[in-house]
Amino acid sequence: MLMNNEKKKLIALLKAEEVIKFGKFTLASGKESDYYVNMKMAITNPKILKQVAKIVASQIIDDKIDKIAGPALGAVPIATSISLESSIPMLMIRKAKKGYGTAKLIEGELVEGDSVVVVEDVTTTGGSLIKAIKAIEENGGIVKKAIVIVDRAEGAVENLKKEGINLEPLISINDFQ
């Protein structure tokens, strides 16, 4: 993967903030891993969010995108920062419909036929990203691509490709090893 200066800056920021730690870790899935990606540390850091927004906004500038979507919780600050940088409205995708008020799964205005980019903080197999993409498609949106800050390189790119979606990682875990 050819790496430009903006991506090198992002990697330097992630390293400086110790977002990726190496050692022995048990993941939420129960699986053992030699590293841990603490994206909550990244998505609460304005320097990292600003750098991510700058990179993603430049990647989508020519794509005629109507909305930036982020699944709750981790991708909402990412979608917000990209929305601010690009002036493209954003959507928030809930994990489940709320049982009160409007009972919406998607917050923000998704218009039938809108071209959408879905962003995520970290992917492993891509399961939660696929769920978010299906929610957008079921509500009339057209997902043009998905972008993730860090791909753990454990099948997400391939799994999304099977669903007809191009996943573009800003960084792969392999960039840190």
Question: Which residues are annotated as part of the binding site for orotate?
Answer: 124, 152
Please say whether the beta carbons of 117 and 65 come within 8 A. Answer: yes
Please say whether the beta carbons of 118 and 143 come within 8 A. Answer: yes
What residue type is 104 in one-letter code?
Answer: K
SS3 147: strand
Q: For residue 129, say if its preceding peptide bond is cis, omega within 30 degrees of 0.
A: no
Non-local CB neighbours of 57 within 8 Å, separated by 6+ positions? 82, 85, 86
Helix axes 76-86, 46-60, angle to 10 degrees: 60
- Which residues are part of a known binding site for 5-phospho-alpha-D-ribose 1-diphosphate? 94-95, 98, 120-128
Q: Are strands 90-93 and 106-107 parallel, antiparallel or unpaired?
A: antiparallel
- Which residues are part of a known binding site? 94-95, 98, 120-128, 152
